[in-house]
Amino acid sequence: MFRSVEYYAGDPILGLMDKFSADPNPNKVNLGIGIYYDEEGVLPVLDCVKTAEERIADPISARPYLPMAGLPGHRSACQNLLFGKNAQVLTDGRVATIATLGGSGALKVGAEFIHQWFPQSKYYVSDPTWSNHIAIFEGCDVEVGTYPYYDKASSSIKFDEMIGFFETLNKQDIVLLHPCCHNPTGMDLTKAQWDKVLEVIKQRELIPFMDIAYQGFGEDMDSDAYAIRKAVDMDLILFVSNSYSKNLSLYGERVGGLSVVCPTVEETERVFGQLNFIVRRIYTSPPSHGGRVVDIVMNDDALYQQWVSEVYGMRDRIKAMRLKLKSVLESKLPERSFDYITRQNGMFSFTGLTVEQIEQLQTEFGIYMVSNSRMCVAGLNVNNIDYVANAMVKVLKD
Ligand code: PMP
């Protein structure tokens, strides 16, 4: 009956997590999956989230179905964070936003929408990108291509090639962009580069799909949304998927959002209706718990401020780890440059290590990173950083 069903080899990043858990090495370090661990190597529960949880728990309340689009307070929280509180585009009513099951859920609903309403459009992702940017869209029968982005040899962005490539695309082709903290390279465009990219997008009438999973981990909440807000100022239509997994440390609650910026209120209503219809056909409505946490934290001034400072605390700790890693590596291997480590933003560093070197780190030291050489810097802490740096020195010298 099921003999024709193909085996699933598993996801390389999630598989690495299982391998790490099974490793008996007492010094093992998990730098694979994109999860923020604190200075003690523990997955934090943010204080603002603890307060929200207490409010949800007292009194314990009934759990009705949520609307298909999720809680209104979750949706407005996404809008305010992405576009800025009281942004004109919001008061104009030109953004259709639904709460989604994490950033992945937002990408899925967005991909379904594009498959149905833009069937001629081809969709392009940066080379390289987070693998699910490809898998989710392919899973919705959208044709996927790549655009030039990162040059491994110089650890920099191939900006001219990227622009040149965008200039060859067709009207209504979709380009997936990372507004901040590019996954996996950590290399972001400057504001001037964003202006240029968006200019070409406008000229060619392309459709930007911006996926923001690390808002607050780059520069700050507003600067990290620069590309989104600039695209709105330029009157572009725009898809935005956002995730609260990392910045609220709510990975397992599956909270995020999908927003579509439309030219008119009337089109916004149509789009909003179709997004609801897609949700209805897949899972009817999102779970309520995480949505309530988002609603409470983001719509209470004091909790919101507390949240922002907690995110900046995580951001600053990662930046400190970057500096420390760079300085240890440079002191031990002065002939090499490790400049790239502090030029990159967010949780990841693209180390440029070879597959063999990554394998050696795993087998000899119990240090796990993704085979494309992506290291999750948020897995480093004062207790393991020297161990990791010394192991990197060893494999680079061998
Ligand atoms: N986009 C990017 C760039 C990501 O790195 C991730 C998470 N790794 C997601 C989307 C998905 O986020 P979530 O875990 O909320 O589904």
What distance in angstroms lies between residue 242's CA and the mean position of ligand 1's atoms? 8
Q: What separation in Å is there between the alpha carbon of 328 and the centre of ligand 1? A: 30
Name the residue of 212, 245, 293 whose CB sits within 8 Å of the most ligand 1 atoms, as the mutation to test its pocket: 245
Cβ of 104 closer than 6 Å to ligand 1, yes or no, is: yes
What pLDDT, on the 0 to 100 scale, is given for residue 40? Answer: 94
Residue whose Cα lies nearest atom 2 of ligand 1: it is 213
Mean pLDDT by 10 residues, the chain (398 residues): 92 88 94 94 97 96 96 98 97 98 98 98 97 97 98 94 98 98 97 98 98 98 98 98 98 98 98 98 97 98 98 98 95 93 95 94 95 94 96 92
Q: Is the Cβ atom of 215 under 6 angstroms away from ligand 1?
A: no
Q: Is the CB of 211 under 6 A from ligand 1?
A: yes
Provide the pLDDT for residue 14.
86
pLDDT value, residue 9: 86
Task: Give pTM, 2 decimals.
Answer: 0.96
Among 14, 74, 130, 176, the mutation site with the greatest number of ligand 1 atoms within 8 A of its Cβ is 130
Catalytic residue positions, numbered: 130, 211, 246
Cα 102 to ligand 1 centroid, rounded to whole Å: 7
Ligand 1, pocket-test mutation among 132, 239, 349, 372, most atoms within 8 A of CB = 132
**Distance between Cα 333 and ligand 1 center (Å):** 34
- CB 249 near ligand 1, within 6 Å: no
pLDDT at res. 12: 84
Q: How far is the CA of 331 from the centre of ligand 1 (A)?
A: 34
Q: Is 183 in the pocket of ligand 1 (CB under 6 A)?
A: yes
Secondary structure of the chain in HEC code, one letter for each residue: CCCCCCCCCCCHHHHHHHHHHHCCCCCCEECCCCCCCCCCCCCCCCHHHHHHHHHHHCCCCCCCCCCCCCCHHHHHHHHHHHHCCCCHHHHCCCEEEEEECHHHHHHHHHHHHHHHHCCCCCEEEEECCCHHHHHHHHHCCCCEEEEECEECCCCEECHHHHHHHHCCCCCCCEEEECCCCCCCCCCCCCHHHHHHHHHHHHHHCCEEEEEECCCCCCCCCCHHHHHHHHHHHCCCCEEEEEECCCCCCCHHHCCEEEEEECCCHHHHHHHHHHHHHHHHHHCCCCCHHHHHHHHHHHCCHHHHHHHHHHHHHHHHHHHHHHHHHHHHHHHHCCCCCCCHHHHCCCCEEECCCCHHHHHHHHHHHCEECCCCCEEEHHHCCCCCHHHHHHHHHHHHHC
